[in-house]
């Protein structure tokens, strides 16, 4: 093949790959052929003379493709994803073109140097401690390397640990044979560890002790400590512990924070295998799962699994590269070079001498997607897995068997293993989906992994439909079988012995039997019980001083990190900002107003286009209010009766009635992920019997809303705590609402003109009453100080029109308060609104420019709104990060000092914070909940 032909065939190959990717979905996901199929199709001997390219390619389609399992297929849900993306394919193509063998620095300097740099990049993205990186300072001992598989990373670590330990033992026992010392070494891993650990120990000829994991399939420190103690008593020497973050069977996480100190005390090398889940640590919300990583000696993750990079690309880091290489250095003359002392020679970091230029593809991928693009990819997979989990949980025939945190859901039909085996084999045989099994707590489970690079909601829905249809068919067959052989499962006939075989039955009897047997099935299939909500709430970190916490709330359209601020959109759009910009700002949930949407475009139109998400092109979560508040606040003529809110339409003056049922009907048509009950809103300045009446009516209206709610499987209905400023009524209201089965709670009737002193006390009381394991949404709160204080008081969700409304008047939010950009003093100010802000406005526009256009040009509204939303979201992110890091109290101090540089803190805020053990005035006082 000459260059000219390569040019042509290369282009054809790219076209073939694109065509393959785009039409993949039309193929069977796994082949239906028997072993040896290819022998029949391909000649016994290699061709003597070269063949035409066309003939070769034609055999690809007719002979090879029929035997390919399509790992990139949208219906492939087996194992873990197999990394793949166009930039990565191009990287490998270039590496092949260069065709260098980079075993030493001199053998191809760029090959070595790029690998070191890209490993530093990825190590930083993951958040590995500095010691693992090679750049950190001039004489760092750490660094990263690419191996071809996680198995190799584990083996190499174990070999290095073995060499290290024998060297140590030699000092004490200089005359003992190596083989004798070797016989004393023992390594540890959990039963859930990948089999490659066992293989490594086998190759290295060392003992391996496999330990039991806990209920959550996590290896605990105490288990390891006990095993080590027993082994030491037998004269054995612990030398290696392999911990797993994201196990193969169910993506469980060993408890590094506990294991780390035990391994350290025992003088053992701690390797952390995070082949799959390690990639997710590039997202800040998952870093908590790495807690204890500072104890690790080495760490590996496979970008060729879950970071869009083609096999082979297994990245590994060590804290001390000399400990790694001492086990592997051999230095013949023909491999030495003049820069050996200064440069890294990767041949000493692993088993093979020859190495490809693999860093190119990872470099291409990271640059082409950006950290943000890669984070979005990971988050999409995690969200879809959560979506799948919710579908499984909503079907009473099934159970979910793992803690779903990443892209894997393990599930099973409630019942015998045999039933699940049958279900999986039927599904796989159909070629409609491909999944593999695992064993969890001794039971057969089916693993569903989100694998396709651009996996979509529709793929998840399709997969669930296939699974649930096969289950229905199988369970029907089973019940008939069971029925015909043993006894009825039907409630009414529970103990009735059934002796006749189906074959002996008359048709009419058979139909009768089918009905009887199917009845309980259909009942199981009915609407999910009210305890199952399309919302999960996982507390990640709880502040040790205040009531603040950081959680992950998973909703049908996106994962939400809380505490969260939700920007408010009105007619299905946020004034002055478009959905793409909100996505770019990493906004995970926004608010829509039911009152406005109900008028325009109206529920019928929304229903016909599948809801507001589709209508406005917003793929993430939505929350809608009930519409009641708008009526009471916007319309003078509203009148509230037991039936609902009566008002005159501002559009045509006609008399209208918003009942709880109607509010839910509209909200069901809008389709938001969280919807609110219609509540009886009384101005917070009103007192007396009206407040009590409103509180009780709110509970009655909640019951009507719950009853009217038609889509509990995809929308969460939140009740609203009322009771004005009366602690007794608030307490009673919360108590009544908590008796209902709901996924979260809102605190309403505040931030409406009451004194701040009463405001915070009511918030404090409400969060004391409401459960900590469900989201608490404080309605209508959005000033920065209020957000910080109310997070400390234990609220998780907030909304307010203020940041976007004030932007329209030319006011920009900054850490020290607000800048009124219309003021003359900004006319010549060429700084951005905020030098530290990375929003698209601050990156490009000056205060002077914004001063000129503010409130005059519509574009100014967009520019300032983008910044204000970015400000709110960043504030919440900083709050979350400080809670996660255990530095929330310091964060509060810094925040308040910046906002009030003269230390004129509002009295209410000082009091509120003191109620949660934070003293703004006397900071020497230990910030301690018991003091």
> Which are the catalytic amino acids?
625, 799
Q: What is d(CA 630, CA 51) in angstroms, rounded to the nearest whole number?
A: 76
Pick the stretch among 11-19, 240-248, 255-263, 414-422 that binds ligand PLP (CB under 6 A): 240-248
Phi, psi of 534 (to 5 degrees): -80, 50
589-592/621-624 β-pairing? parallel
Q: Is 839 annotated as a binding residue?
A: yes
The response to whether 861 counts as a known ligand-binding position is no
Yes or no: say if 660 and 701 are a contact pair by the CB < 8 Å rule.
yes
CB atoms within 10 A of CB 817: 14
Decide: is 165 part of the binding site for Zn ion (CB under 5 A): no
- 875-881-887-890 Cα dihedral, nearest 10 degrees: -10
DSSP 365: H
Centre a 10 Å sphere on the Cβ of residue 347 and count the other Cβ atoms it contains.
Answer: 24
Considering only residues 65 through 84, tell me which ones interact with ligand PLP, judged by CB under 6 A.
80
**In 394-543, which residue ranges form alpha helices assigned H by DSSP?**
417-430, 457-485, 507-525
Residue 815 marked in a binding site? no
Ligand-binding annotation for 722, yes or no, is: yes
Interacting partner of 912 out of ligand PLP, Zn ion, none (Cβ under 5 to 8 A depending on kind): none
From the list 71, 269, 276, 369, which residue makes contact with ligand PLP (rule: CB under 6 A)?
A: 276
Q: Which stretch binds ligand PLP (CB under 6 A): 205-213, 269-277, 409-417, 448-456?
A: 269-277
Q: Which of 92, 273, 345, 680 binds ligand PLP (CB under 6 A)?
A: 273
Least distance CB 374 / Zn ion (angstroms): 24
Min separation Cβ 837 and Zn ion, Å? 3
159 vs 394, which CB is nearer to ligand PLP? 159
Q: What is d(CA 299, CA 317) in angstroms, rounded to the nearest whole number?
A: 5
How many amino acids of this chain bind Zn ion (CB under 5 A)? 5
| Residue 705 among known ligand-binding residues | no
Residues 577-606 that bind ligand PLP (CB under 6 A): none
Task: Kindly write down the DSSP assignment for every residue of 158-185, as one continuous string.
Answer: HHHHHHHHHHHHHHH-TTS-HHHHHTTE
How far apart, in whole angstroms, are the C-alpha atoms of residue 800 and residue 813? Answer: 14
Judged by CB, which is closer to ligand PLP: 194, or 323? 194
867 binds, among Zn ion, ligand PLP, none (CB under 5 to 8 A by kind): Zn ion
Q: Which residue has the tokens 């006939």?
A: 493
Residue 628 assigned as binding residue: yes
Between 507-525 and 457-485, two packed helices, what is the crossing angle to 10 degrees? 140
* Residues 137-166 contacting ligand PLP, CB under 6 A: 149-151
Q: Is 194 an interacting residue with respect to ligand PLP (CB under 6 A)?
A: yes
Residues 831-850 touching Zn ion, rule: CB under 5 A, are 837, 839, 841-842
Closest distance to Zn ion from the beta carbon of 847 (Å): 11
- In the stretch 223-262, what mask flags binding to Zn ion with x, by CB under 5 A? ----------------------------------------
Site for ligand PLP contains 196 (CB under 6 A):
yes
Cβ 304 to ligand PLP, closest distance in Å? 7
What is the nearest approach in angstroms of ligand PLP to the Cβ of residue 245?
Answer: 8
Residue 621's SS3 state is strand
Distance CA(659)–CA(646), nearest Å, equals 9
Region of 446-454, 516-524, 745-753, 861-869 interacting with Zn ion (CB under 5 A):
861-869
Q: How far is the CB of 244 from ligand PLP (least distance, A)?
A: 5
Q: Are 440 and 37 in contact (CB under 8 A)?
A: no
Nearer to ligand PLP, 80 or 891 (CB): 80
Question: Between residues 428 and 841, which has the closer beta carbon with respect to Zn ion?
Answer: 841
* DSSP of 641-705: -SS-EEEE-TTT--EEEE-HHHHHHHHHHHT-SEEE-------TT--SHHHHHHHHHHHHHHHHH
Of Zn ion, ligand PLP, none, which one does residue 244 interact with (CB within 5 to 8 Å by kind)?
A: ligand PLP
d(CA 51, CA 812): 70
Q: 547 touches which of Zn ion, ligand PLP, none (CB within 5 to 8 A by kind)? A: none
Residue 585 binding Zn ion, by CB under 5 A: no
Burial 593-622 (b: 16+ CB within 10 A, else e): bbbbbbbebebeebbeeebbbebbebebbb
Across the chain, which distance is largest between two alpha carbons, in Å? 102
Q: Please tell me whether residue 224 binds ligand PLP under the rule CB under 6 A.
A: no
Q: Summarize as ranges the residues that interact with ligand PLP (CB under 6 A).
A: 80, 149-151, 194, 196, 244, 247-248, 273, 275-276, 302, 314
Annotated binding residues for Zn(2+), written as ranges, equal 837, 839, 842, 867
Q: Summarize as ranges the residues that interact with Zn ion (CB under 5 A).
A: 837, 839, 841-842, 867
């Amino acid at each position: 093949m000459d260059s000219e032909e390569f040019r042509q065939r290369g282009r054809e190959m790219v076209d073939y790959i694109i065509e393959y990717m785009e039409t993949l979905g039309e193929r069977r996901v796994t082949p239906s052929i028997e072993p040896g199929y290819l022998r029949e199709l391909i000649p016994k001997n290699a061709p003597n003379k070269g063949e035409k390219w066309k003939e070769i390619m034609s055999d690809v389609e007719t002979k090879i493709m029929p035997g390919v399992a399509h790992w990139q297929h949208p219906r492939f849900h087996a194992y873990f994803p197999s990394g793949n993306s166009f930039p990565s394919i191009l990287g490998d193509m270039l590496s092949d073109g260069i065709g260098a063998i980079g075993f030493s620095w001199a053998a191809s300097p760029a090959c070595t140097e790029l690998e070191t740099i890209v490993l530093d990049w990825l190590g930083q993205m993951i958040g590995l401690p500095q010691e693992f990186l090679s750049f950190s300072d001039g004489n760092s001992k750490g660094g990263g390397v690419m191996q071809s598989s996680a198995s190799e990373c584990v083996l190499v670590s174990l070999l290095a640990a073995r060499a290290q330990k024998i060297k140590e033992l030699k000092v004490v026992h200089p005359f003992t044979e190596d083989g004798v010392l070797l016989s004393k070494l023992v390594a540890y891993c959990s039963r859930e560890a990948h089999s490659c650990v066992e293989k490594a120990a086998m190759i290295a000829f060392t003992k391996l002790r496999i330990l039991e994991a806990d209920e959550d399939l996590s290896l605990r420190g105490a288990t390891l400590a006990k095993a080590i103690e027993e082994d030491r008593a037998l004269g054995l020497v612990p030398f290696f512990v392999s911990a797993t973050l994201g196990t193969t069977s169910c993506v469980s996480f060993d408890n590094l924070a506990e294991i780390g100190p035990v391994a350290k005390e025992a003088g053992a090398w701690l390797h952390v295998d995070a082949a799959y889940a390690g990639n997710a640590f590039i997202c800040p919300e998952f870093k908590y799962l790495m807690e204890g990583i500072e104890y690790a000696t080495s760490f590996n993750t496979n970008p060729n699994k879950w970071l869009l990079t083609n096999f082979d690309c297994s990245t590994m880091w060590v804290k001390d590269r000399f400990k790694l290489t001492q086990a592997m250095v051999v230095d013949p003359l023909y491999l030495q070079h003049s820069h050996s002392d200064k440069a890294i020679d990767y041949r000493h970091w692993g088993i093979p001498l020859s190495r490809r230029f693999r860093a190119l593809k990872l470099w291409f991928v990271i640059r082409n997607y950006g950290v943000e693009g890669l984070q979005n990819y990971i988050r999409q997979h995690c969200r879809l897995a959560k979506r799948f989990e919710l579908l499984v949980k909503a079907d009473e025939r099934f159970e979910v068997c793992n803690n779903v945190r990443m892209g894997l859901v393990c599930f099973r039909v409630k019942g015998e293993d045999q039933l699940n085996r049958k279900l999986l084999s039927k599904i796989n045989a159909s070629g409609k989906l491909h999944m593999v099994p695992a064993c969890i707590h001794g039971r057969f489970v089916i693993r569903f992994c989100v694998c396709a690079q651009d996996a979509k909601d529709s793929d998840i829905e399709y997969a669930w439909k296939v699974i649930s249809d096969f289950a229905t068919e199988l369970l029907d067959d089973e019940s008939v079988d069971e029925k015909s052989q043993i006894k009825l499962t039907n409630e009414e006939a529970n103990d009735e012995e059934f002796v006749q075989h189906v074959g002996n039955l008359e048709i009419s009897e058979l139909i009768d039997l089918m009905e009887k047997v199917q009845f309980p099935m259909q009942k199981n299939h009915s609407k999910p019980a009210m305890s199952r909500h399309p919302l999960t709430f996982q507390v990640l970190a709880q502040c040790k001083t205040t009531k603040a916490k950081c959680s992950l709330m998973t909703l049908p359209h996106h994962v939400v990190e809380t505490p969260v601020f939700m920007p408010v959109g009105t007619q299905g759009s946020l004034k002055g900002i478009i959905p793409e910009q909100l996505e770019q700002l990493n906004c995970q949930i926004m608010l829509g107003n039911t009152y406005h949407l109900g008028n325009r475009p109206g529920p019928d139109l929304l229903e016909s286009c599948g809801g507001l998400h589709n209508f406005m092109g917003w793929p993430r979560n939505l929350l809608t209010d009930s519409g009641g508040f708008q009526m009471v606040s916007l319309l003078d003529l509203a009148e509230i009766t037991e039936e609902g809110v009566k008002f005159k339409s501002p559009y045509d003056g006609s008399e209208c009635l918003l009942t709880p049922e109607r509010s839910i009907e509209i909200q069901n048509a809008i389709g938001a992920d969280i919807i609110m009950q219609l509540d009886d809103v009384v101005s917070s300045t009103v007192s007396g019997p009206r407040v009590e009446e409103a509180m009780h009516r709110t509970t009655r209206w909640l019951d009507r809303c719950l009853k009217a709610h038609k889509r509990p499987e995809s929308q969460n209905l939140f009740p609203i705590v009322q009771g004005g400023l009366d602690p007794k009524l608030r307490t009673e209201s919360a108590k009544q609402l908590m008796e209902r089965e709901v996924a979260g709670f809102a605190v309403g009737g505040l931030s409406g003109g009451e004194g701040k002193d009463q405001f915070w006390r009511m918030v404090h009381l409400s969060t004391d009453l409401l459960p900590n394991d469900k989201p608490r949404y404080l309605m209508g709160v959005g000033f920065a100080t209020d957000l910080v204080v109310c997070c400390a008081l234990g609220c998780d969700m907030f909304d307010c029109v203020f940041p976007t409304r004030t932007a329209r008047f030319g006011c920009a939010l900054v850490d020290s308060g607000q800048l009124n950009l219309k003021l003359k003093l900004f006319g010549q100010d060429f700084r951005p609104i905020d030098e530290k802000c990375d929003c698209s406005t601050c990156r490009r526009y000056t205060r002077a420019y914004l001063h000129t256009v503010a409130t005059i040009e519509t574009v100014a509204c967009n520019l300032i709104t983008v910044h204000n939303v970015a400000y709110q979201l960043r504030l919440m992110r900083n709050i979350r990060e400080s809670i996660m890091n255990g530095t929330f109290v310091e964060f509060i101090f810094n925040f308040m000092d910046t906002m009030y540089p003269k230390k004129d803190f509002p009295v209410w805020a000082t009091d509120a914070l003191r109620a949660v053990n934070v003293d703004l005035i006397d900071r020497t006082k230990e910030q301690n909940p018991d003091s």
